[in-house]
Amino acid sequence: MRVSVENTGQALAFQVHLKLTNGAGGPEILPVYWEDNYLALFPGEKRELRVAYARGAATNPVVTAEAWNAK
């Protein structure tokens, strides 16, 4: 699967952590293999990342992102 993440804020998004869950608020899917994680994004920067997980591990995969200095 490919995931796009973008910093729409006015400040650096530091230590952005991506998490894959089964549905919104559902259990985290593990193991998950991210192309990159805990990354930094400048204001307006957008990245596309690959993520791999076991086939059938999620019926409704949802990606959430949290940064050290922002929600």
Query: Is residue 9 a part of any domain in this protein?
Result: yes
Strands 61-66 and 2-6: unpaired
Number of Cβ within a 10 Å radius of residue 12: 16
Structural domain harbouring 41: 2-66
Q: Residue 55: which CATH number?
A: 2.60.40.10
Widest distance between CA atoms in the chain = 38
Residue 71 domain flag: no
The pair of three-digit structure tokens given for residue 26, joined into one six-digit string: 């559902």
Query: Scanning the structure block, which residue is given the tokens 């990342």?
Result: 49
pTM, entire model: 0.82
Q: What is the pLDDT of residues 12-49, one digit of tens each?
A: 999 999 999 999 999 999 999 999 999 999 999 999 99
Number of domains in the chain: 1
* Within-domain flag for 61: yes
CA atoms within 13 A on the CB side of 37: 15
